[in-house]
Amino acid sequence: MSLLQVKRLGKSYDLETKVLKDISFDVEAGEFVSIIGPSGAGKSTLLRSINRMVEINEGHVIFDNNDVGSLKKKELRQLRTDIGMIFQHYNLVPRLSVIENVLHGRFGYKTTIQGILGRFTEDEKERAFYLLDKLGIGEHAYKRCDQLSGGQQQRVGIARALIQDPKLVLCDEPIASLDPNTSKIIMDHLQSIVSELNITCIVNLHQVEVAQTYSDRIIGLKAGEIVFDGPTPWLTDDRIHHIYGTETRELITG
Amino acid sequence: MKREKEMKRKRWQTTILLAVIIVVTYVSIAITEFNVLTGITAIPQAIGWMFSHLLITQESLAKLPSILEKLNETIFMSIAATTTAAAVSIFLGLMGSKTTRVSNVLSVLARFIASFSRNIPVVAWALILLLSFGQNSMTGYLALFVGTVGFLTRAFIESIDEVSGSAVEALTATGATYFQIVNKAVIPQSLPQMISWILFMIETNIRSATLVGILTGTGIGYIFDLYYKTMDYNTVALVTFTIVITVIAIEMASNYIRKVIL
C-alpha cells in the first residue's frame, strides 16, 4: 500500500474555474517528488489538499490508510502531526526565538494546556537542538527569527517540520524567495535530511533544473491537470515545453 | 503616452477637488453666518482675556491638593476603563479577525459591536448612560469603556490580520489547537501593536475623561466645571494646567514604553 494515494481529486474555489481536475497519483514511502508547472497551475492547492489546508471538493486523498477528506476535526489534527509543511515565506512567528519556533512543531502531540504553558520534554528540546545543529544554525537558537536571513529562517522552518517526526513533508515553493546560493544550501539540506530520516517529500518548485537535480520523480501540472508523471530522467525538453507552453523557451533565450 | 494621460487626469482631479473644498467652505460660512474677519480679529482680545484672567495665584494654589485628588480619580478611571475594555477587545478582536475567527456569525457580531460602540461619540454615550446610572463615576467609566471597546476591537482586528496570517497557517498545518495557535503565534506577534494601541487609548481617555467628567459630575471635569461656573478663573487655569501636564507626562511615558517594546 502506498503512503499517499490521490484519487480523482478535483477542487474549485468558485463555480466557474476548476483549479484541479481529476488528479490521480500515488507516492511511495521514501520518495522525493517534485511538482512543477507554471504559476497558477494549481501546485499550491494540490499540496494543501493533501493535509486538507484547503477542503477537498471531489475525489479522495488517502494518506497512511486514512481518507483525509472525511476525517473529523480531532482526527485531522492527529493526521497533520504526521505531515510536516514548509512554506515559501517560512511562516515563522518572527518575534519569537528560533528554538521556540522549532518547538511549535510539537503542538500537535500536546494537549492545549501543555502547549499554552510551553511544557516540552527534555527529549523534545534535545531533538530541537539536534536538528538546528544538523541544519547549521545551532548557534542562533536563542536569537529572534526576525534577525535571521531568509535562508536561515527557512532552515528554522525545516526544523519545525522535522521535529513533528513526520512521515511526509510538503514543501510549498521552499526556495522561491531565496537567492541561487542559498537555494542550493536549502535544497541540499532538505535532500540529505529527508533521505537520512527516510521521510517522504513532495516539493512544489517552479525551477525545472532544481527539480531535475534533486528529485526521484517529477509531476508536471498544467492548468489543474497532470500532464507528466514519471522518473526524473524521462522529463525531456519536449515534455518541459509541453508543461510550460512556450514560456520557458522565451525565458531561456530572451 | 498612456502614463502622460494618467498624470493629466490626476492633476485635473486635484484641481477639481480643491475647487470643491473652497466652494463647500464658502457655502458653510454663508449658511452659518460665521464672519471670518470678526473671528480672526477677536483672537488677540481672547488672548488678552486669557492672560489677565487665567492666572494661577497663591490663592488658587491652596486648592491644589483637592484638584490633584480629583485628577487621580480621573487618571485611574481612564486606565481602568481602557484596560478592562482591552480585555474585552482582545476577545472580540480574535472573533472578528479573518485569520482567527471561529465562525462567520460571531465575526459579524464582533464587528457590529465594534462599529456600533465606536460610531457613537463618547459624549453621547455619557449622556445616554447618565439617564440610567445617574451622576457618578460608574457612568463616566462605562462611557469610556464602551467607546474604547469599539476603537480597540477595530484596531486589534487589524493588528491580528496584519501580522499573524502566515504563522497561523503554519501552526494549523502542524496539528496545533486553536488556543495553542492564539497563545503562541497570534498574541506574541501582535502584542506590541496592541499595547501601543492601549497606551494611545489611555491618553485619549484621559482627555475625554475631562469632558465626560463635566457631564457626569466626577473627577477633574467636575472640579473644572465647578470653578468655571463660580467664575473662579484662577483655579480654572490651575486645573487646566494640571490636565495639560498630566497628558504630556502620560504621552511621554507611553512613547518611551513604545520605543522599548516595538
Interface pTM (ipTM) of the complex? Answer: 0.90
Highest mean pLDDT among A166-170, B113-117, B236-240: A166-170
pLDDT at B51 over 90: no
What's the pLDDT score for residue B159?
92
Highest mean pLDDT among B23-27, B90-94, B96-100, B253-257: B90-94
Outline where DSSP puts E strands in chain B: none
**Smallest Cα distance from B224 to chain A, Å:** 45
Q: What is the mean pLDDT of chain A?
A: 91
What's the pLDDT score for residue A103?
96
Give the pLDDT mean for A190-214. 92
Query: What are the C-alpha distances in Å from B196 to residues B142, B147, B215?
Result: 22, 17, 29
Cβ–Cβ gap A107/B171 under 8 Å:
yes
pLDDT at B1 over 70: no
Reading across the β-sheet that carries A200-205, which strands appear in turn? A83-86, A168-172, A200-205, A32-36, A217-222, A225-231
* pLDDT tens figures, A91-150: 999 999 999 999 999 999 999 999 888 889 999 999 999 999 999 999 999 999 999 999
Q: Give me the DSSP letters along B204-236.
A: HHHHHHHHHHHHHT-HHHHHHHHHHHTT-HHHH
pLDDT at B110 over 60: yes
Q: What is the mean pLDDT of chain B?
A: 88
* pLDDT tens figures, B138-166: 888 999 999 999 999 999 999 999 887 89
C-alpha cell at B69: 485628588
pLDDT at A18 over 50: yes
If pLDDT is split at 50, 70 and 90, which confidence band does B5 have?
Answer: confident
Put simply, whether B188 touches A (Cβ < 8 Å) is yes
**Of the candidate ranges A127-136, A181-190, B234-243, the one whose mean pLDDT is the lowest:** B234-243
pLDDT at A72 over 50: yes
φ and ψ at residue A203, rounded to 5 degrees? -120, 125
| Binding-face residues of B in 79-138 toward A, CB within 8 A | none
| Alpha helices by DSSP H, A169-207 | 180-196
pLDDT at A38 over 50: yes
pLDDT at B43 over 70: yes
Give the pLDDT mean for B98-127. 90
Report the CATH architecture of A1-82+167-254.
3-Layer(aba) Sandwich (3.40)
Domains annotated for chain B, with CATH where assigned, are 2-53 (no CATH), 58-261 (1.10.3720.10)
Domain positions in chain A are: 1-82+167-254, 91-165
Q: Which of A64, A77, A80, A107 has the highest number of chain B CBs within 10 A, making it the mutation to test binding with B?
A: A107
Closest chain B residue to A89, measured at CA: B166
Of B167, B173, B179, the CB nearest to A85: B173
Of A51, A80, A116, the CB nearest to B183: A116
d(CA A78, CA A51) in angstroms, rounded, equals: 11
Closest chain A residue to B173, measured at CA: A80
How many inter-chain contacts (A to B, CB under 8 Å) are there?
Answer: 88
d(CA A54, CA A237) in angstroms, rounded, equals: 33
Cβ–Cβ gap A87/B171 under 8 Å:
no
d(CA B179, CA B35) in angstroms, rounded, equals: 60
Cβ–Cβ gap A81/B184 under 8 Å:
no
Give the pLDDT mean for A47-54. 93
Cβ–Cβ gap B167/A164 under 8 Å:
no
Query: What are the C-alpha distances in Å from B85 to residues B81, B92, B178?
Result: 6, 10, 23
If pLDDT is split at 50, 70 and 90, which confidence band does A247 have?
Answer: low
What's the pLDDT score for residue B209?
86
Cβ–Cβ gap B175/A95 under 8 Å:
no
What's the pLDDT score for residue B34?
77
φ and ψ at residue A72, rounded to 5 degrees? -85, 170
Cβ–Cβ gap A92/B189 under 8 Å:
no
Which of the pair, B151 or B10, is modelled with greater confidence? B151
Cβ–Cβ gap B175/A81 under 8 Å:
yes
pLDDT at B85 over 90: yes
What's the pLDDT score for residue A250?
56
Of B167, B174, B188, the CB nearest to A80: B174
